Structure 1
Amino acid sequence: MRFHVVSLPHTQTTIAYQPCAYTQKARRFATMMTEHGHDVILYGGEENDALCAEFVPLVTKAEQAEWFGGNDPTKEISNLTWDPHDHHWRVANARAISEIAARKRERDFIGVLGGCCQQAIADTLPELMTVEFGIGYSGVFAKYRVFESYAWMHSVYGARTTVSDVMSARGEFYDAVIPNYYAVEEFPYSADKDDYFLFIGRLIEAKGIQIAIDTCTRLGVKLIVAGASAGEVPTAECVEYVGVVDSVRRGELMSRARAVFVPTLYLEPFGGVHAEAMLCGTPVITTDWGVFTETVQQGVQGFRCRTLREFCTAAETVDKLDYRAIREYAIGKFSTDAVAPQYETYFERLLDLWDDGWYAR
């Protein structure tokens, strides 16, 4: 199979851009499918370390600096906007269309992760199948869609359901749910844990950082906080803030933590941090909705909680869990070796649409 994967206009498809989950998804998809024998042409910023048949730069670092006030992966980009009419999307999309048109072959796929901001690519190249191949966002447009969790797929479906007619939201046969995927070697395992808990991610209220702080404050235990902040960083007595960390330091912190807090307040489509922590053999402490209901077995890989008392009990109990079993579970669920065949099955299903489609024997 042959894929044109278009990344985002504000980043580089390198491991350094850890704060952007969708850049990493595009990067890992290119590598994963290339390793499984498929041709991937990847389009993005100037820099790339993903495996692919060809890498095509669409925007320069100088343009990114002009559009976004810089392109430092350790800092939040405050003026990134998600309107398809904005200059950076129009320029990147136009270049992607031109470059794909020069390389396209019959029955190629286009893969995008920018939602409606990249719809122009699909509209201009209708002879190719465009797939949103990792949806954890709103503003979806494509006819063919892969969601990161059933929770999020149902949320998107439900958003178009009318109160008077529950049957107005129909399922789509050529949608799918495939979890996020990771290179296992990036996530070290340690059976020995140090005496701290970890919160890693964007330092925003919606990610539930205050729950982690309140829990650790009540228990009198250390909380290491890592991640980009567009404002003030937490200063609670229990907190040690270490800023944005690279992939190596991330693995060290995750593998040695007693547990990783991922108490997202909104309906979490996936929450990559919790999968990464489990790949390190580290329990997770989460809220009790969204993807966590599909990926965290209560009292096995961690705990899903609804009150501060439950969060505290979870933090006091995680040391009893089986770290090796947590890692093996995560490898079986989130490794590229486990996920690549799911994508292959999905895209093979789409290839049938060129022939007998749903009625294919």
Structure 2
Amino acid sequence: MNAVLRAGVKVTQRHADAVVYISRTVAKSYGEPTNTDGSQKNLRRSVIYNGLNIDSITASADRAGARTPQQLVSVGRLAPVKGHRMVIEALPELAKSFPLIRYTIIGEGNERENLMSLAHRLGVSKRVHLLGWLSHADAIAEMARSAAVIMPTRDNEGFGLALVEAVLSGSPVVASTIPVFKEIANRGIRGIHFFTNNDVASLAKAVTKVLAQPMAPDAIANSREQVRKEFSAKEMSRHYFAIYQQTISQGR
């Protein structure tokens, strides 16, 4: 967030009845204690995670069909901050151990030509597939059909909604070590494997481990259940409702 917008938000929140941050990472960026969450008694400053329609996402994933061996997929706009370049740079090394390796990107943006140019220079253009934007259900299904979902975002985000969706898809996830991704994993979410941010060799090592050790069905079920507890729309609504109740009871 640029300095002018950040200053404006700080002024606005001083006059608000309640302030909600979508992650502890965002709360910390505003100088709030990082141990706050939506269940605390004082809801003047709260962290409430964005909620998802868990049933809809898992239904799309379960209808996807069989996995494609050695297929990697990322979902996100084609921009340098999303880190797709690192995955392409890792493909030559990964291809030595996984001859069927391919990388599919769902999204669109001004980096399309640069990414394909890089793939040609590295001799992996036939392994890189840019699908453009798909419907939400189709994107979830593509993640579910893949051997791994790659989240190579280079800079921090407010909340990793796509990361949570990737976990729900049932595929193992390889993610960069940005703070909000680590925060999500620390909520007890399994199936996320981290690589050092902006480190191609570390990314390749994490992908190799995931492809060599597929995720067990019980681990998928456990991860989905934990997501339901932490990131469902119902859970989000419950916390917001508590804030409204407190605000109304105090006559604000």
Aligned: 1:337 with 2:226: no
Counterpart code for 1:276: E
Tell me if the contact between 1:279 and 1:328 (Cα under 8 Å) persists in the aligned partners: no
Aligned: 1:199 with 2:93: no
Q: How far did 1:206 drift?
A: 0.9
Aligned: 1:222 with 2:102: yes
Tell me if the contact between 1:281 and 1:325 (Cα under 8 Å) persists in the aligned partners: no
Q: Name the SS of the counterpart of 1:176 in structure 2.
A: strand
| Closer, same or farther: CA 345–192 of 1 in aligned 2, 3 Å | farther
* Equivalent position of 1:351 in the other structure: 248
- Equivalent positions of 1:178-189 (< 5 A) are 178-187=48-57, 188-189=60-61
Cα separation, 2, equivalents of 1:214 and 1:299: 28
Deviations 1:74-94 (A, max 9, x none): xxxxxxxx99xxxxxxxxxxx
Cα separation, 2, equivalents of 1:253 and 1:139: 40
| Closer, same or farther: CA 226–189 of 1 in aligned 2, 3 Å | closer
Q: How far did 1:139 drift?
A: 5.4
* Equivalent position of 2:26 in the other structure: 152
Aligned: 1:300 with 2:205: no
TM-score when scaled to structure 1?
0.52
Cα separation, 1, equivalents of 2:110 and 2:185: 30
Tell me if the contact between 2:80 and 2:111 (Cα under 8 Å) persists in the aligned partners: no
Q: How far did 1:300 drift?
A: 2.9
Deviations 1:46-66 (A, max 9, x none): xxxxxxxxxxxxxxxxxxxxx
Tell me if the contact between 2:189 and 2:227 (Cα under 8 Å) persists in the aligned partners: no
Tell me if the contact between 1:269 and 1:291 (Cα under 8 Å) persists in the aligned partners: yes
Cα separation, 2, equivalents of 1:217 and 1:246: 30
Cα separation, 1, equivalents of 2:189 and 2:208: 12
Counterpart code for 1:344: F
* Equivalent position of 1:324 in the other structure: 221
Q: How far did 1:138 drift?
A: 8.5
Cα separation, 2, equivalents of 1:139 and 1:328: 39
TM-score when scaled to structure 2?
0.72
Q: Which ranges of 4 or more aligned residues in structure 1 deviate by more than 4 Å?
A: none
| Closer, same or farther: CA 294–180 of 1 in aligned 2, 3 Å | same
Cα separation, 2, equivalents of 1:300 and 1:219: 24
Aligned: 1:254 with 2:126: no
* Residue ranges of structure 2 left out of the alignment (5+ in a row): 33-41, 96-100, 120-124
Tell me if the contact between 2:176 and 2:195 (Cα under 8 Å) persists in the aligned partners: yes
- Equivalent positions of 1:78-117 (< 5 A) are none
Tell me if the contact between 1:201 and 1:226 (Cα under 8 Å) persists in the aligned partners: yes
Counterpart code for 1:179: Y
Deviations 1:130-189 (A, max 9, x none): xxxxxxx8952332321111011101228xxxxxxxxxxxxx961211111111233133
Cα separation, 1, equivalents of 2:178 and 2:47: 17
* Equivalent position of 1:312 in the other structure: 204
Q: Name the SS of the counterpart of 2:250 in structure 1.
A: helix
Q: CA RMSD in A?
A: 2.9
Aligned: 1:174 with 2:54: no
* Residue ranges of structure 1 left out of the alignment (5+ in a row): 1-81, 84-114, 117-136, 159-171, 356-361
Cα separation, 1, equivalents of 2:73 and 2:180: 20
Tell me if the contact between 1:260 and 1:284 (Cα under 8 Å) persists in the aligned partners: yes
Work out which structure has the larger RCO, using CA pairs closer than 8 Å and 6 or more positions apart in sequence.
2
The structure carrying a bigger helix percent of its residues is 2
Counterpart code for 2:22: E
Q: Percentage identity across aligned positions?
A: 21
For these two proteins, the number of residue pairs brought into alignment is: 210
Higher Rg:
1
Cα separation, 1, equivalents of 2:236 and 2:66: 29
Q: How far did 1:289 drift?
A: 2.4
Q: How far did 1:204 drift?
A: 0.7
Cα separation, 1, equivalents of 2:181 and 2:8: 22
* Equivalent position of 2:178 in the other structure: 289
Tell me if the contact between 2:43 and 2:243 (Cα under 8 Å) persists in the aligned partners: no
Tell me if the contact between 2:87 and 2:200 (Cα under 8 Å) persists in the aligned partners: no
Q: Which residue of 196, 209, 213 corresponds with 2:84?
A: 209
Counterpart code for 1:320: P
